[in-house]
Amino acid sequence: MTERLTGMYAALMTGLDDAGAFNEARQRSLTDYVLKQGLTGLYVGGSSGESGLLGVDELAEQQGIVADCAKDSAAKLIAHVGMPNLRNSVRLAQQASDLGYHALSALPPHSYPFTDAEIEGYYRDLSGATDLPLIVYEVPIRTGRPIPLDSLVRILDLPNVTGIKFTSTDMFKFSMLRRRRPDSSYFFGFDEIYLTGGVLGADGGIGTTYNILGKLYVAIDAALRAGDLARAQELQDVSQIFVEALLDTGVLPGMKAAFRVLGVDVGQTRAPMALRMANDAAEAHMRAVLERPEVKAWLV
């Protein structure tokens, strides 16, 4: 199966209890909230979901809960399965296939300074583990180094690999990839400059702040595709106001503070990730930006 995916996906966050353990009830509450955003779907188990701080059993449980929450919706589900070792990645990939997920995605292996050949081998093995379409991932800020263009082209040529999530500001590289492999799907991963990727041909976006402002990003993408760049830029400015506020708190801790302000308690981020200010101050900080009229207009 090599379905070509497009559209706007929330990089789903994770619900934890007050002690930092994975919490089913909070995950369901969070997922139900995000499903109301009108997005194409959810990207489950990625960095925005604190996957680097969760165990494989927790990620497997999360996959099942999200699938159950979304079963009566039209949302497409992409399971991020990029673990530090291939065995766990394959385990999560095969479970996602059994649960009816529509696609997989994965960070490249990142625990050691792997060679390009080792990264290509990882994606080759993972792409063969199921029949689901696989979206690979270029994210130098997480892995510590970019994957060379020629290597990415070879990865995009692997069976079942249908696209890439591109979270890099190297837009020339993005454009070269699109010219070399125009039939692949291209998702842009920097929320605050989604318009940049869209103008250069992204087929959609996958982002953290879509969890709260999904309606806004759908509107940015719609304006872009209608050729209304002035409107798209106006809306992108709104997203940047929100993202700029998160820089003061830390992105994921600030997002969770914003959720608490909205009445959706998903806990704190798991240690050692923490707020950059006291919890009460963080909530007041995020409440102030959520109450700005231009931001509030896009809340569900």
Average pLDDT score over the chain: 97
**112 catalytic residue (yes or no):** no
Domain ranges in the chain?
Answer: 7-228
Among 33, 101, 123, 165, the one annotated catalytic: 165
Q: How many CB atoms lie within 10 A of CB 299?
A: 15
Q: Phi then psi for 180, rounded to 5 degrees?
A: -75, -35
**8-state DSSP, 39:** -
Q: Assign 3-class secondary structure to 66-110.
A: HHHHHCCCCCEEEEECCCCCHHHHHHHHHHHHHHCCCEEECCCCC
Q: Out of 9, 123, 137, 217, which one is annotated catalytic?
A: 137
CATH 3.20.20.70 fits 7-228, yes or no: yes
CB proximity list for 55: less than 8 A, separation 6 or greater: none
Phi, psi of 275 (to 5 degrees): -60, 150
Nearest to 10 by CA among 22, 149, 36: 36
Query: Cα separations (Å) of 246 from 60, 140, 242?
Result: 29, 21, 7
List the chain residues with pLDDT less than 70.
1-3
Q: What is the pLDDT of residues 202-257, one digit of tens each?
A: 999 999 999 999 999 999 999 999 999 999 999 999 999 999 999 999 999 999 99
Angle value at C-alpha 23, between 21 and 24, nearest 5 degrees: 155
pLDDT in tens, 93-109: 999 999 999 999 999 99
Whether 173 is a known active-site residue: answer: no
